[in-house]
Amino acid sequence: MDLGLYLDVTISVYLKCPNPLKISYLKNIMTPSRKLWKLLFVSTPVGALGTGLGGGVELTLYNVAQQMLHRGHKLQIVAPVGSIWKDIPIIQIPGNLQTIAQSQKRADGIVMADNSTLANMWDYVREIECDYNLIVNFAYDWLPFYLTPFFKKPIAHLVSMSSLSNAIDEVIEKVGKNFPHALGFHSSYQAETFSGSIQPLHILSNGIDIALYDFCPQPKKQLAWIGRISPEKGLEDAVALSRKMNIPLKIMGKLQDKYYWQKICRDYPHAPVEYLGFLSTKEMQKIVRECSALLMTHRWVEAFGNVAIEALACGVPIVSYRRGGPKEIVQDGKTGFLVTPDSITDLVDAVSRLGEINRYQCRQQAEMEFSLEALGNRFEKWFETILALEIKI
Ligand code: UDP
């Protein structure tokens, strides 16, 4: 059967299905020129997928992988041993985990563990690279950036954090210069923390499966804080606000730095806060959707902030410091408030004004800007640009 006829038949079968989204999606993707690729996704070496140690990278990798498979591409994930990720098969690599970049100082040198998971993962990738069209790196580590010119196949690097280390900045800049489309960022505020010479910029934002998050029109008088419990996330300011306004605060996320958490508990013994642990998406959204707002009190330039779009999907407004990715997500005064960084007074003012926010508009923003399909389109376009360049070479 010729391809045009095949597409007509497929689309007409789908036309019987009453879901117009499916039809437009099919029309979008089933174009005769569309190429299907073999993609090799290489995860972060700081923790196994599913543990929460990898932060937002875990959900991002899963969502992009799902979208690529859904669009007919072939895909393999390489990740540290112990990685479990729903229905997607993973090649598990043993070794000692990599130290997180955010725990190191800007001028520190690069540290590699003995029997390093990171090195083992990239050894493995080198063995199998020829079976794939494109390697996609999700790790914010010096080694994969450095290795870029030594591989036969192109590498797309999703830069998951803002600038933190001189050595990593330098190697990222070099990749940007020698492989102009190889770098992808989540937000332009994140990208601008690196050298201004990186051009063109691929800003990929993020996306989630909105259907997994239920809308809640009537919240309880309580607030949420979600994230890794680690100093750069500034949890103490959210706890201070909870104490000051006497509003219960539900805390969810991986306990990455237990001394930091113990200090917060000592400093605010009477704050009405409750730590619920690291929850599955299903459990997490059940709690956050009943909250009046999600607080984002980060001290660093958050590259994006997956938790912001997850809250919006439940109809929950964001009260965030005007710093990094959330500046690009929150529509100030409409789907939340952006306040002066590190100001508890401004946080209190914003929380007092939450009645001005229409929760339907929050959900609507998530549906319009952060759907899985939109995420898939952006990544597919980025991969296509890199692969088109390959062919020309
Ligand atoms: N998360 C989760 N369960 C929890 C708390 C957080 O699955 O109890 C996930 C959340 O869905 C998000 C990630 O942890 O994907 C945090 O990512 P974010 O981009 O907000 O911050 P990062 O950790 O990458 O700095």
Contact partners, residue 235, CB within 8 Å, separation at least 6: 225, 227, 229, 251, 260, 261, 264, 297
**Nearest-10 crossing angle of helices 306-313, 56-70:** 70
Q: Please give the pLDDT value at position 217.
A: 96
From 208, 228, 285, the mutation candidate for ligand 1 (largest count of ligand atoms within 8 A of CB) is: 228
Contacts 24+ apart (CB under 8 A), 81-87: 81/48, 81/117, 82/48, 82/50, 82/51, 83/43, 83/48, 83/49, 83/50, 84/48, 84/49, 84/50, 85/49, 85/50, 85/58, 86/62
Beta carbons of 166 and 283 less than 8 angstroms apart:
no
Q: Which of 182, 171, 175 is nearest to 204 (CA)?
A: 182
Q: How many helices (DSSP H) and strands (DSSP E) are in the chain?
A: 15, 13
Q: Please give the pLDDT value at position 27.
A: 45
Q: What whole-number distance in Å separates Cα of residue 37 and Cα of residue 117?
A: 27
Atom of ligand 1 at shortest range from CA of 276? 8
Contact partners, residue 267, CB within 8 Å, separation at least 6: 236, 239
From 164, 307, 318, 320, the mutation candidate for ligand 1 (largest count of ligand atoms within 8 A of CB) is: 307
Q: Please give the pLDDT value at position 18.
A: 40
Q: What whole-number distance in Å separates Cα of residue 223 and Cα of residue 351?
A: 9
CA of 37 to the centre of ligand 1 (A): 29
Q: Please give the pLDDT value at position 348.
A: 98
Q: Which of 83, 174, 99 is nearest to 141 (CA)?
A: 99
Atom of ligand 1 at shortest range from CA of 302? 25
Q: Is 299 helix (H, G, I), strand (E, B) or coil?
A: coil
Q: Please give the pLDDT value at position 85.
A: 79
CA of 376 to the centre of ligand 1 (A): 20
Q: Please give the pLDDT value at position 391.
A: 57
Token reading at 349:
């003012």
Alpha-helix residue ranges (DSSP H) falling in the chain: 3-15, 20-29, 56-70, 117-128, 142-147, 166-178, 188-191, 235-245, 258-267, 281-288, 306-313, 326-329, 344-352, 359-369, 372-392
Atom of ligand 1 at shortest range from CA of 278? 8
Ligand 1 — pocket residues by CB below 6 A?
52, 55-56, 59, 226-228, 252-253, 278-279, 281, 284, 304-307, 310
Closest residue (by CA) to atom 5 of ligand 1?
Answer: 253
Tell me how long the chain is: 393
Q: Is 252 helix (H, G, I), strand (E, B) or coil?
A: strand
To 5 degrees, how large is the angle CA 362–CA 368–CA 372?
110
Closest residue (by CA) to atom 13 of ligand 1?
Answer: 56
Over the chain (393 residues), the average pLDDT of each successive run of 10 is: 35 37 44 79 97 95 96 97 87 96 92 96 98 98 98 98 97 95 97 87 97 97 97 98 98 97 98 98 98 98 98 98 98 98 98 98 98 97 93 48
Q: What whole-number distance in Å separates Cα of residue 249 and Cα of residue 315?
A: 18
From 57, 59, 212, 318, the mutation candidate for ligand 1 (largest count of ligand atoms within 8 A of CB) is: 59
CA of 246 to the centre of ligand 1 (A): 26
Q: Domain 211-369 has what CATH class?
A: alpha beta
Q: Please give the pLDDT value at position 33.
A: 56
Would you say the CATH fold of 211-369 matches that of 38-207+372-392? Answer: yes
CA of 297 to the centre of ligand 1 (A): 14
Q: What whole-number distance in Å separates Cα of residue 251 and Cα of residue 294?
A: 10
Q: Is 285 helix (H, G, I), strand (E, B) or coil?
A: helix
Concatenated DSSP letters of 112-154 = --TTBHHHHHHHHHHHHGGG-SEEEE---SHHHHHHGGG-SS-
CA of 103 to the centre of ligand 1 (A): 17
Q: What whole-number distance in Å separates Cα of residue 204 and Cα of residue 194?
A: 16
Token reading at 48:
């196994």
Phi/psi-derived region of residue 38, left when phi > 0, alpha when psi is between -120 and 50, beta in every other case: beta
* Prediction pTM value: 0.90
Domain range list for the chain: 38-207+372-392, 211-369
Q: Domain 38-207+372-392 has what CATH class?
A: alpha beta
CA of 234 to the centre of ligand 1 (A): 14
From 210, 274, 306, 329, the mutation candidate for ligand 1 (largest count of ligand atoms within 8 A of CB) is: 306
